[in-house]
Structure 1
Amino acid sequence: MDASLSRALRGAVAAAALVCCATAGCTAHAPPSGQDTAAATPMALVDLQSQYQKVIKQVLPSVVQIQASSELGSGVVYDGAGHVVTNAHVIGKEKTFQVTTASSEQPVGAHLVYAYPQQDLAVIKLDKVPAGLKAAVFGASEKVDVGQIVLAMGSPLGLSSSVTEGIVSATGRTVSEAGGGTGATLANMVQTSAAINPGNSGGALVDLAGRVIGIPTLAAADPSLGSSAAPGIGFAIPASMVKTIAGQIVKEGKVVDSGRAALGITARTVVNGSYQPAGVAVVDVSNGGAADKAGLRPGDTITAVGGQQVTTVTALQEALAAAKPGQKTSVTYQRDGNRKTVTVTLGEQ
Structure 2
Amino acid sequence: MTDQGWRRPGDAPPPPQGPAYPPPPQYGSAPYGARPSGPRAPTPAPAGVGQGLVIGLVVGAVVLALVAGLLGGAVGALVASRRVEPLPPPTASSSSAPAPPRSVAAMAARVLPSVVTLRVSGGGEAGTGSGFVIRQDGYILTNNHVVAVASGGGQVTVEFSNGQRLPARVVGRDASYDLAVVKVARDSLPVLRLARSAQVRVGDPVVAVGAPLGLESTVTSGIVSAVDRPVSTAGEAQGRSFLNAIQTDAAINPGNSGGPLLDDSGEVIGVNTAIARIPGASRSGQSGSIGLGFAIPSDQARRTAEQLIATGHAAHPIIGVTLDLGYSGPGAKVLARTRKGPDPVVPGGPAARAGIHPGDLIVAIDGERIRSAEELIVAIRAHAVGDTVKLTIRRDGTEHRVTMKLAGRSD
Q: TM-score, normalised by structure 2?
A: 0.60
User: 1:137-152, aligned counterparts within 5 Å?
Assistant: 137-152=193-208
User: 1:91-110, aligned counterparts within 5 Å?
Assistant: 91-92=147-148, 94-95=150-151, 97-102=155-160, 105=163, 107-110=165-168
SS of corresponding position for 1:198: coil
Q: Which runs of 5+ in 1 are unaligned?
A: 1-41
The answer (yes or no) to whether the contact 2:392–2:399 under 8 Å persists in 1 is no
CA drift of 1:231 comes to: 0.9
What code does the residue aligned with 1:288 have? G
Aligned residue-pair number: 294
CA drift of 1:215 comes to: 0.8
Shifted more, 135-144 versus 155-164: the winner is 135-144
Does 1:203 pair with 2:265?
A: no
CA drift of 1:135 comes to: 1.7
**Aligned match of 1:249:** 308
Does 1:86 pair with 2:138?
A: no
CA shift in 2, pair 1:348/1:117, >3 Å: farther
Does 1:184 pair with 2:238?
A: no
**Aligned match of 1:301:** 359
Q: Identity across aligned pairs (percent)? A: 33
**Aligned match of 1:54:** 106
* Cα distance in 2 between the residues matched to 1:191 and 1:328: 26
The answer (yes or no) to whether the contact 2:140–2:183 under 8 Å persists in 1 is yes
The answer (yes or no) to whether the contact 1:270–1:278 under 8 Å persists in 2 is no
SS of corresponding position for 1:194: coil
Does 1:329 pair with 2:391?
A: yes
* Cα distance in 1 between the residues matched to 2:136 and 2:235: 35
SS of corresponding position for 1:232: coil
The answer (yes or no) to whether the contact 2:101–2:107 under 8 Å persists in 1 is no
The answer (yes or no) to whether the contact 1:205–1:213 under 8 Å persists in 2 is yes
Does 1:111 pair with 2:169?
A: yes
CA drift of 1:113 comes to: 1.5
* Cα distance in 1 between the residues matched to 2:199 and 2:356: 40
**Aligned match of 1:33:** none
Does 1:162 pair with 2:218?
A: yes
CA drift of 1:323 comes to: 6.0
Kindly provide the CA deviation profile for residues 139-189 of structure 1, in whole angstroms up to 9, marking residues without a partner as x.
2323433333222111111222211121222223232224676422222x2
What code does the residue aligned with 1:233 have? L
* Cα distance in 1 between the residues matched to 2:230 and 2:371: 17
Kindly provide the CA deviation profile for residues 124-149 of structure 1, in whole angstroms up to 9, marking residues without a partner as x.
112x21x7632222223234333332
Larger Rg: 2
CA drift of 1:333 comes to: 5.7
CA shift in 2, pair 1:199/1:78, >3 Å: same
Which of 316, 341, 345 pairs up with 2:404? 345
Kindly provide the CA deviation profile for residues 174-216 of structure 1, in whole angstroms up to 9, marking residues without a partner as x.
32224676422222x2221111111111101123322222111
**Aligned match of 1:37:** none
CA drift of 1:59 comes to: 0.6
SS of corresponding position for 1:269: coil
SS of corresponding position for 1:91: helix
The answer (yes or no) to whether the contact 1:114–1:124 under 8 Å persists in 2 is yes
SS of corresponding position for 1:115: strand
CA drift of 1:52 comes to: 2.1
* Cα distance in 1 between the residues matched to 2:324 and 2:146: 26
Shifted more, 147-156 versus 67-76: the winner is 67-76
Which structure: greater helix fraction? 1
CA drift of 1:268 comes to: 4.4
Q: Which runs of 5+ in 2 are unaligned?
A: 1-93, 337-341
Kindly provide the CA deviation profile for residues 30-88 of structure 1, in whole angstroms up to 9, marking residues without a partner as x.
xxxxxxxxxxxx99xx9569932221121111111223323431111111111111112
CA drift of 1:295 comes to: 5.4
**Aligned match of 2:320:** 264
User: What CA RMSD, in Å, does the superposition of the two structures yield over aligned residues?
Assistant: 3.7
Kindly provide the CA deviation profile for residues 229-281 of structure 1, in whole angstroms up to 9, marking residues without a partner as x.
6611111122222222213333454435x5x4x22134441258xx9999452
SS of corresponding position for 1:231: coil
* Cα distance in 2 between the residues matched to 1:208 and 1:77: 19
* Cα distance in 2 between the residues matched to 1:323 and 1:242: 12
**Aligned match of 2:290:** 231
**Aligned match of 2:335:** 281
CA shift in 2, pair 1:226/1:107, >3 Å: same
Kindly provide the CA deviation profile for residues 286-331 of structure 1, in whole angstroms up to 9, marking residues without a partner as x.
342123334557xx33432437776754243245356663323233
**Aligned match of 1:65:** 117
**Aligned match of 1:14:** none
Q: TM-score, normalised by structure 1?
A: 0.70
* Cα distance in 2 between the residues matched to 1:251 and 1:276: 39
CA drift of 1:119 comes to: 2.0
* Cα distance in 2 between the residues matched to 1:266 and 1:255: 21
